[in-house]
Amino acid sequence: MTATAQDHDFLTRVLALAQRSRDEGHHPFAAMVVAADGTIISQAMNASSSDRTAHAEMNALRLASQQYGPAELAGATLYANAEPCAMCAGGTYWSGVGRVVYAMSEASLLALTGSDPENPTLSLPCRTVFAAGQRPTEVIGPLREDEARLAHADFWHK
C-alpha cells in the first residue's frame, strides 16, 4: 500500500505534536489514532520520563481503547513520528488497530539515539512483531524521515 494525502496530513500533525512534546520537556515522540472516516480518536505525547511504558503510542492506544473496542478500531490507523517499538507494536496489535503509518524507522532512530540510556532502542521492526500475530496489521513507513529527525536534533546525548 502507498500513503494517501490523508496519511500525510496526519503525519504533519504528529510531527508537530512530537516537537511540542520536546518543547514541553518530554522525549520527542507523538502518536494519534484516527478512525477510517478521518475522525481523530486520540492523540498523545511521550510521558516516559515518569513512566517508562508511557510511550506516545501506548498513551494514544489506551485512550482509544477506552472509547472503542477492537472491532471498531480495526479500521483505524495509528500515526506515529517514529516506528512503533516492540512494546507499542504489541499494544497496537492487542488494541485491534488495523493500520500503522510512521515517519521515521527504528533503524534511523537508533542512529540518532545511539547508546543514550534515555532510549535503549529495541532493534526489532514493527513489521516483525505484527507478522507474529494471527491477524494482519497494515504498515506504511518510513515516510518523511528527514522531517521526523528535526524534533530529535541535539536532543539525545545531552
Active site residues: 57
Cell of 110: 537508533
From CA 100, how far away is CA 41, in angstroms rounded? 14
Residue holding cell 494482519? Answer: 136
According to DSSP, the β-strands at 30-34 and 40-45 are antiparallel
Nearest to 77 by CA among 88, 62, 92, 94: 92
Could you tell me the end-to-end alpha-carbon distance of the chain, in angstroms, rounded to an integer?
Answer: 38
The DSSP bridge partners found for residue 99 are: 77, 138
